[in-house]
Structure 1
């Protein structure tokens, strides 16, 4: 069993969930549904493209100027 990170954001009436460690993305009408769909997508992806042993991403934060547009 491995643990991954899910980043979620709301887009209109759906939640989008991303797993940056693997590069998978999914969505759902609720947070729980989006995460469940992301889990399934990630499991299917890893069946075809297993991660290298010991490969762990570096996750950090950074700042941008307040006037910057997203």
Structure 2
């Protein structure tokens, strides 16, 4: 899971889902949820590893992690 830690994660509460969501902007469609912030972050680390493994298996490009997120104002 070491590689997963290089990708920035956006963590937020979703009222609609009743859970914390952790989204990885650099990896399209890569997100996880959890009942706590820690659980969502733990889950998304696993999903990042799975996303990267699947991309490698399919020969798809893997985006480099951004150093810092820039959010639109």
TM-score (norm 2): 0.69
Higher helix share: 2
How far is the alpha carbon of 1:61 from its aligned partner? 2.6
Contact 2:7/2:65 (8 A) holds in 1: no
Q: Which has the higher contact order (CA 8 A, sep 6+)?
A: 2
Distance 1:15 1:62 in 2: 22
Q: Structure 1 stretches of 5 or more lacking a match?
A: 64-70
**Structure-2 change in CA distance of 1:47 and 1:27 (3 Å):** same
The runs of at least 4 consecutive aligned structure 1 residues that moved more than 2 Å come to: 55-59
Q: Structure 2 stretches of 5 or more lacking a match?
A: 57-61
**Bigger mean CA offset, 25-34 vs 12-21:** 12-21
How far is the alpha carbon of 1:62 from its aligned partner? 2.4
Q: How many residues matched? A: 61
Q: Aligned to 1:7, which of 6, 10, 13?
A: 10
Distance 1:32 1:39 in 2: 11
TM-score (norm 1): 0.72
Larger radius of gyration: 1
